[in-house]
Amino acid sequence: MDSKFPHHKSKENIDIFFEAIIQETLKPVVEIEDTENAHPEELNTLLARLGEKGIEDAIALVAEVCKERNINTFNLQTWIGPQGVGKGAIADTMRWVQKIINGKGDELYEIFSKKYDIDENKIIKIKEKASIVPGTLDETLKKVFDIVANPKADTIYTGTGGIFYPQGKAIPDKRYVPYIPQQAVTVAILREGFLVDEKWTSFLVTLEIARSLLYGKNAIELDVFPRTMSQAEYINKRLATDLKDKGITLIHKLIHIEPIDSTTAELISKDRKGALDIYLKLGKIFIELSERPEMHGYKEEDFNLLKALGIEDKNYDKEKPRLMIEGSERMRKTAVRIKSTIRELTGENTEENLKRIGLGLSASAGTTLYRVANRLSTQGRKDDASLSKLFRRLSAYYSDTAPVAIKNGANIIYAGASDPNSQPATNYLDAVEGTLKSLSTMVNANYNFENNTYKNLLDLTKEIYLIRVSK
């Protein structure tokens, strides 16, 4: 069937067209007078009904666009990982590196100088490192860049600054302006740490896929979608099947990135069922930490940095520097303590490999918090100040999102973690090396990491990544 969304063909009208769809579909929800104080469950129940009604037309729209654009096959790629793991930083770094080794880094050097306060000597050092990386990389590394930093790919963001919270950044991305009409509804859900209803999410993501295809992109990156097994089934069964019936092939690739060591990654790959049990146990622990901190020996103020520091909302801007310094330090101490708590609670398994997976993932949890603490110290993000909400999101990750990757056999990327027996750390450089090695092995199992091209590329990437994570 044709969709009831007869899209405009000119690019100038695409944004207006999608904004009209959102406004029309959302009419029953925006009629609620007080969405600001409505309970997230109430809003999600309404969104679920609207999403289910709209999905069929959204799928039909994707098919129409593919037919119009003569697209027989398109690719979706999802990166799954916990908050703060560095998915965005890795992708940005690789795009920057790609520009630099292709001789198009001049505008970047200016950004490094003005925004990141990098002095001329450091920029000269970067240029020297770039000069010894061949402009033409070997086939394996070319494919790694295609996975992480494909310049022809389009990204659909479902987080801050994306489809649910387009004004979550200082300047809204033009791409997501059409989604501002739903912000009053979805932000009321997100600010409490809940996920937006999965049917509504599937509806919006399907619309965005159609939009990417209208813009001429047929390699599309999904920012943490699917988050749940039912969303994964929606892509792999309903969406893919409906499109296949219309002669269109959808290829979906899942990549699972974790701040873990290579040993833990290998053990998870070997025993996915056992690893799944550990993930679900972690999800239960994090929801307990969020809702009943006293159960594990914590107080509410341990997880509410604004309350602990006596910072009120009305004084937030003035007190932000103190939050960045004192708050981030408190979070680092909490990361060490949380890691110890989780290690004890996940170490109850008798089977040795499962104990080791639990040990590695407790280190991962500590590292995740440590990285969020570092982000707090550089950005002072208010949403990072409430650990209870962060724990709720981590609970959703361990209970729902990571199992999607594990059950679907996703490739595991070990993005650097502290030694499981040591205190948490950021290990940014290990994150770069682990990511590059994992992706290269994924592309070519027999890749030789001792070659000079790889070594020089790794050296340059580490240098650039440190700049990226400094802000």
Q: pLDDT over 90 for what percent of the chain?
A: 41
Tell whether 198 and 241 lie within a shared domain.
Answer: yes
Give me the pLDDT at residue 6, please: 56
Distance CA 212, CA 72 (A): 15
Q: Is residue 8's pLDDT more than 70?
A: no
Last residue of a domain, one of 200, 226, 254: 254
Q: How much is the average pLDDT of 195-218? A: 90
pLDDT value, residue 340? 87
Q: By residue range, what is the domain housing residue 379?
A: 262-426
Q: Is the pLDDT of residue 416 over 80?
A: no
- Assess whether 274 and 362 both reside in one domain: yes
Q: How many domains does the chain have?
A: 2
CA atoms of 309 and 327, how far apart (whole Å)? 8
**Average pLDDT over every residue of 201-224:** 90
- Same domain for 289 and 217, yes or no, is no
Q: Does the pTM exceed 0.95?
A: no
**100 vs 159, more confident:** 100
Q: Of 254, 286, 305, which residue is a domain's last?
A: 254
- Domain end residue (candidates: 254, 277, 312): 254
- Per-residue pLDDT at 3: 59
Residue 18 pLDDT > 50, yes or no?
yes
**Residues 311 and 232 both lie in one domain:** no
**216 and 272 together in one domain:** no
Mean pLDDT across 381-407: 89
pLDDT at position 7 over 90: no
CB contact at 8 A, 324 and 376: yes
Cα dihedral across residues 313, 317, 318, 322: positive or negative? positive
Confidence of residue 27 (pLDDT cuts 50, 70, 90): confident
Residue 63 has pLDDT above 90, yes or no: yes
Domain assignment of residue 62, yes or no: yes
| 206 in a structural domain | yes
Q: Kindly state the average pLDDT of the residues 375-391.
A: 86
Q: Are residues 379 and 302 in the same domain?
A: yes
334 and 304 Cβ atoms separated by less than 8 Å: no
400 secondary structure, DSSP code: I
Res 365 pLDDT > 90: no
Distance between CA atoms of residues 88 and 90, nearest Å = 6
Residue 471's pLDDT is 67
- Contact assessment for residue 124 and residue 112, using Cβ atoms and an 8 Å cutoff: no
- Transcribe 182-228 into DSSP letters: GHHHHHHHHTTTPPPPHHHHHHHHHHHHHHHHHTT--EEEEES---S
Most confident segment among 123-132, 162-171, 349-358: 123-132
Do 173 and 288 belong together in one domain? no
Average of per-residue pLDDT across 13-26: 83
Residue 35 has pLDDT above 70, yes or no: no
- b/e for 42-79, b at 16 or more Cβ within 10 A? ebbebbbebbeebbbbbbbbbbbbbeeeebeebbbbbb
Q: From CA 88, how far away is CA 210, in angstroms rounded?
A: 23
- Clarify whether residues 302 and 366 are in a common domain: yes
CA distance 127 to 105: 9
Domain contains 452: no
Average pLDDT over every residue of 247-267: 92
Token pair 């440190």: residue:
466
Among the listed residues 463, 403, 389, 406, the one whose alpha carbon sits nearest the alpha carbon of residue 433: 463
Contact 85, 99 (CB under 8 A): no
**Residue 432 and residue 86 in contact, taking contact as beta carbons nearer than 8 Å:** no
Q: What is the mean pLDDT of residues 132-141?
A: 90
pLDDT of residue 436: 94
Q: Are residues 275 and 239 in the same domain?
A: no
Q: Is the domain of 346 the same as that of 293? A: yes
Q: Which residue has the tokens 């969104």?
A: 47
Question: Does 379 lie in the same domain as 408?
Answer: yes
Q: Percent of the chain scored above 70 by pLDDT?
A: 94
List, for residues 330-350, the tens digit of each pLDDT value.
999 988 888 888 888 776 656
Q: What is the pLDDT of residue 1?
A: 47
Tell whether 420 and 305 lie within a shared domain. Answer: yes
- pLDDT (tens digit, 9 = 90+) per residue, 81-107? 887 787 888 888 999 999 999 888 888
Look at residue 59 and tell me if it is in a domain: yes
What is the chain's mean pLDDT, rounded? 87
Distance CA 435, CA 453 (A): 16
Instruction: Give residue 46's pLDDT.
Output: 87
137 and 458 Cβ atoms separated by less than 8 Å:
no
Tell me the residue type at 462: K
Of 425 and 32, the structure prediction assigns the larger pLDDT to 425
How much is the average pLDDT of 60-85? 90
For the segment 43-61, what is each residue's pLDDT rounded down to a tens digit?
888 899 999 989 999 999 9
Query: Quick check: is 375 in a domain?
Result: yes
